[in-house]
Amino acid sequence: MINFMEVGELKDLMDKNTDLILVDCREQDEWDAGHIEEAIFIPLSDFANQYANHLKDKSKKIVVQCRSGKRSLNACQFLLEEGFEDLYNLEGGILAWGESGYPIKA
């Protein structure tokens, strides 16, 4: 099952050092323009080839984000089909993160 997470909830979890993996599935130029510092970069265009290099534990909490939440839903669906269990799509993506005043690393 894919769950949804608001940016405020993600920020709270990160501030509490909750054990989770944040995946940014945007493309290289978008990543270079700015990203959430704690995120790991796995572009959706090459997700199937790269995800296994970064995501080893299928029971770990994984939050996937993109620009607005559409591509990350596709990445979550892929991970669900690969047997991952604790999946969250970040609602509103990095746009909502930035609009909430949370830091974006250039």
Distance of alpha carbon 85 from alpha carbon 105, whole angstroms: 29
Active site annotation includes 66: yes
β-partners of residue 62 are 21, 87
- The active-site residue out of 66, 90, 94, 96 is 66
Q: Strand 61-65 and strand 20-24: pairing?
A: parallel
β-partners of residue 54 are none
Positions marked catalytic: 66
